[in-house]
A and B are shown apart, each in its own frame.
Chain A
């Protein structure tokens, strides 16, 4: 049976004069007894609700995160308290979330830019027409005589070449810049299906460049090189309809990767950097993640899609690790990093965060791509198409960008680059 509070009890309760056990009993009673609750209400205490003025904003305090706070968050500099305060604010402030997304996007652009700078520098090309012009009308007039002789010889050679080769099967010829692709000579109207940067073979042959424009250190191809037939079909199709053949699995892989790469939430205490949400060529990837402030060590665990552990690292002091044994090709993997801080283990990511997934490329495709690189190194466009087909979107984007750098008017390269970016 309820024992109601006396007025003395209520006064003691309100003035904090009850002993702890009495206080809890009175509190339990007030929570269920409307009569006693009403008695307090009648005392006018409820009017003191106006004293919740701690919720008044002050004109000198900002209601938003400063640039410094946002920047520190993106750079993962803040201490735990700062990070927590930023998280709490971001949960209710769309403006600041947009600002933060903008900075994350900028960080990504800077990283991509710096990565691209590590690629071999693009060869500065002087177009053949410019070279010829300089040669003919440059400093030394005597060159004109040589030039006339050269032109005569060239015409003769081209004539002979055409005569001996006119019965050969049709082939597409790769060139350096722009991606000049020779059309079959019996194609009645090539311009109907090909973009403007694709030129007939006889011009393309003059435009071939040296080997220095290859990606990586692959041995150079000959000055012109035919596309192997298995790539030719894909190349033709993409150039004709402008649509890349990107594996549907990409969508499954890169779900919510931005969240994983941003980190800083309860389920992703520190961001993971790579590999996330993509196909990878190597079967011994290097795992990278953002440092957790104060962490003394890290352990990386790799799982298959049934959450069986397939590999684990030793305790690491750096925020990267290359797996020592090869992963099986054509398989999807998940990975998680455990940071050790103050003797505690902090895992990232944990549910409900999305898994950090990647897939090792099928070994046949990997070999094919290597071959394609060797054989078609002069055509970033072709390589981009093949990379995209294999699901290697970063590599594809890099090649399309190279093509655009070499040939800024290439509409097809821009279109393909946009497609790749939209899937990343």
Chain B
């Protein structure tokens, strides 16, 4: 029986369901009442879409497909949660929102790599140049000259484009080295605020930044997302091979010692079993080699071997860090190994 201390209350009837039928019913209720509304809300906010099937705009159709994929993904994760008592979801709504945001980001990253990079750059410019400002109101993210921060009506993109057209070549604003000047000119000709997304579109158009369409197919993007987030992506099977395991060990050794400590001192399977023993047993690394990698003497390490895996709080004490820092370091190490293993 799973108690309220472990998981979100909303999940209890699902997690405590005894039969297949009960579980399916509970899952259905969860999806309708708790999960789908959060996915919809998050996607609507992020993608500015209606999510109505009769809206045939490309973005809305993409959003609908993402919506379906995220549903499938969360159902799959919940089923794993039911069969695995180790993992918990303490806040379902926040979990669903995180998954949706993450999948959406991966989608953007694959579909619009150049626009995303430009957005980062402009966001940096607008928040670091003393004369520019970026602020949010109920309509979305707006930007402009700092002295012009006001609730004035943002100028539409076409007007800005028309106004700026003659100045672009005259002042060489298409050169990426002139981005600051280009943004300043946009604000000056607009004499008003501009939506951040419009500014990105204007700068992209002027600087000729266009994401290649041939690699942006939605199906392909979804496949990439699936492969990124699907736990049955073959990675685990792949690492059963000795060569792959050796690569994992090499990857661990290439990381800084704090990463190695956070990862290896708490090396657990999803079931919570310590799996550090597998390194010597599979002849990937001896106990002496692991000790050296963690900057322990062999004797010291042999002394704690039976205690492993250590809890995070103990690792934190040993490393003189906070528990959260240890968790972050381990996550960073895992993500690096996952990327290397792919």
Contact with A along B114-126 (1 / 0, CB 8 A): 0001101101110
Known contacts A27-B286, A88-B259, A59 near B277 by CB under 8 Å: no
Asked if A89 CB lies within 8 Å of chain B CBs, one says yes
Given contacts A59-B99, A107-B128, contact A24 B287 (CB under 8 A): yes
A324 within 8 A of B: no
Q: A27-B280, A30-B280, A106-B125 are in contact. Are A50 and B336 (CB under 8 A)?
A: no
- CA of A75 to CA of B332, assembled, Å: 21
Would you call A151 an interface residue if the criterion is a C-beta within 8 Å of the partner chain's C-beta atoms?
no
Confirm or deny: B337 has a beta carbon within 8 angstroms of a beta carbon on chain A.
yes
Determine if B305 is an interface residue (Cβ-Cβ < 8 Å): yes
Q: Choose from B267, B281, B302 the contact partner of A14 (Cβ within 8 Å).
A: B281
Minimum Cβ distance to chain B for residue A138 (Å): 26
Per the CB 8 Å criterion, the residue count for chain A at the interface is 65
A59→B269 contact, CB < 8 A: no
Is B125 a contact of A31 with CB atoms below 8 Å?
no
Q: Which of B164-216 contact A (CB under 8 A)?
A: 170-172, 176-177, 179-181
Q: Which residues does chain A contribute within 8 Å of B305, judged by CB atoms?
A: 16, 20, 23
Decide: B281 and A106 in contact? CB cutoff 8 A. Answer: no
Residue of B nearest to A109 (CB): B180
Docked complex Cα distance between A421 and B275 (Å): 54
State which of A45, A55, A109 has its C-beta within 8 Å of the C-beta of B341.
A55
| A103 CB–B CB distance under 8 Å | yes
Q: Is the interface of B mostly helix, strand, loop or mixed?
A: helix
Whether B109 sits at the interface, judged by CB under 8 Å, is yes
Q: Which residues of A contact B235 (CB under 8 A)?
A: 55-56
Contacts of B237 in A (CB 8 A): 50
Q: Is A91 on the interface with B (CB-CB < 8 A)?
A: yes
A to B contact number (C-beta, < 8 Å): 196
Residue from B106, B170, B172, B267 whose CB has the most chain A CB atoms within 10 Å:
B172
Number of residues from B at the complex interface, CB < 8 A: 84
State the CA gap A107–B120 with chains docked (Å): 12
Let me know if B268 is at the binding interface, CB within 8 A.
yes
**In the bound complex, CA of A56 to CA of B331 (Å):** 11
A377 to B85, CA, bound (A): 78
Cβ contact of A24, chosen from B109, B302, B331, cutoff 8 A:
B302
Q: Within 8 Å of chain B (Cβ to Cβ): is A63? A: yes
Contact (Cβ within 8 A) A85 B236? no
Bound: A239/B94 CA distance, A: 64
A70 at the interface (CB under 8 A from B): yes
| Distance to closest chain A CB from B287 (angstroms) | 4
- Contact in complex: B124, A106 (CB < 8 Å): yes
Known contacts A57-B231, A92-B340, then 5 further A-B pairs from the complex at CB < 8 Å, ordered by chain A residue: A24-B302, A56-B231, A81-B258, A93-B339, A110-B128
